[in-house]
Amino acid sequence: MKLVRNIALSLAAAVAVAACTKAIEPPTAVASAQALAVPVGAVVTLDASQSTDPNDPAQALFFQWAFKALPAGSQARLNDPTIVNPSFTADVEGAYTVALVARNATAASGAVEVTVTAGPCGASAPTVSAAQASPENPGIGQVVQLSATVADADLDSPCEQEQALVYHWAIASLPAGSHAALNQPDALNPSFTVDLAGEYELRLVVTDSTGR
C-alpha cells in the first residue's frame, strides 16, 4: 500500500511540473491605417492598437514599423517607427506598403503589412467605417434611428474639394411577415419602425458627386 501512495505522489508531481512548462506564444501584430486610399499630400496615420499578447493581455508591447515598398520618387518617412500610431505624408502617387512587428519581453510576432494607395485629388471614394442603430435591441413598435461614420479623403486637406455625398440605405432582410420600411433611404440618418420580432439587416452604400 505504501508503494501505491508513492507512485500517486510522483504522478501528481509530474503533472504539476508539466503544467508549469507551457510554451510562451509570440504576440499577434495587427496593422491598419486611417484610410487605405488617400490623395497625394495627405498625412496617413497607422494603427497597431489591435495587436495582442496571448500570454498576458495587460503586458506592454513594443512596435517596429518599416516601409516595405514606396512609389518611385517618394521620400516618405515615418515620424516615429516605434509608436502605436505613427504617420507619414503620401508625397507622390502610388502604393505605400508598411510592415509591423510587435514584440513583448521575450518574443516577436511575424511581420504583417498594410498598403495605402495615394492618388490625385478627386480620385478617392467615400468610406464607411461604422454604422449604428439606436436602440440596438428595440422592442416591437419602437423607432430605430440609423447613423454612420463616413469619410471622403477628397473633402479633407490637402484637397478640400466641394463634393456632395449621396447615401443609399436599404433593408437587406426582414423577419418573415415584416413590412418595415425606411422613412428616408437617401438620408444620412433614416429610421424605421420595428413591427415584428426578429433580425433586421440593413446596408449602406455611399457615393460622391464624381460617381465613386
CA pair distance 212, 127, nearest whole angstrom: 10
What pLDDT was estimated at residue 154? 83
- Average pLDDT rounded to a whole number, residues 183-187: 95
Summary mean pLDDT of the chain: 87
Say whether both 76 and 143 belong to one domain: no
Q: Which of 119, 148, 174 is the last residue of a domain?
A: 119
Distance CA 91, CA 76 (A): 6
Same domain for 135 and 198? yes
Structural domain includes residue 187: yes
**More confident of the two residues 123 and 98:** 98
| 8 inside domain | no
Grid coordinates of 91 = 508625397
Q: How far, in Å, CA of 212 to CA of 196, rounded?
A: 36
Q: How many domains does the chain have?
A: 2
- Domain extent, residue 95, equals 32-119
Does 37 share its domain with 101? yes
151 in the same domain as 182: yes
Asked if residue 83 has pLDDT above 60, the reply is yes
Instruction: Please report where in the chains the cell 413598435 appears, as a residue.
Output: 141
Peptide bond between residue 71 and the one before it cis (omega within 30 degrees of 0): no
Closest Cα partner for 53 from 21, 94, 16, 24?
24
Helices H, strands E: what count in the chain? 1, 12
CA angle, residues 198, 199, 204, in degrees to nearest 5: 150
Q: Closest by alpha carbon to 87, among 118, 44, 116, 123? A: 44
Residues 105 and 131 in one domain: no
Q: Which of 86, 103, 119 is the last residue of a domain?
A: 119
| Greater pLDDT, 185 or 163 | 185
Instruction: With a cut of 60, say whether residue 200 has pLDDT above it.
Output: yes
Name the β-bridge partners of 102: 63
Find all residues with CB under 8 Å of 152, minimum gap 6, and list them. Answer: 124, 125, 126, 127, 163, 165, 208
Residue 10, domain member (yes or no): no
Domain final residue pick, 119, 147, 169: 119
The pTM assigned to this predicted structure is 0.63
Q: Is the pLDDT of residue 105 over 80?
A: yes
DSSP 83: S
Report the 3 state secondary structure along 100-156.
EEEECCCCECCCEEEEEEEECCCCCCCEEEEEEEECCCCCCCCEEEEEEEEECHHHC
108 and 137 inside one domain: no
CATH number, domain containing residue 154: 2.60.40
Helix (H) / strand (E) element for 169: namely strand 165-173
Q: Are residues 92 and 134 in the same domain?
A: no
Give the Cα separation of 2 and 66 in Å (integer).
Answer: 64
Express each pLDDT in 128-167 by its tens digit: 888 999 999 999 999 999 999 988 888 887 888 888 899 9
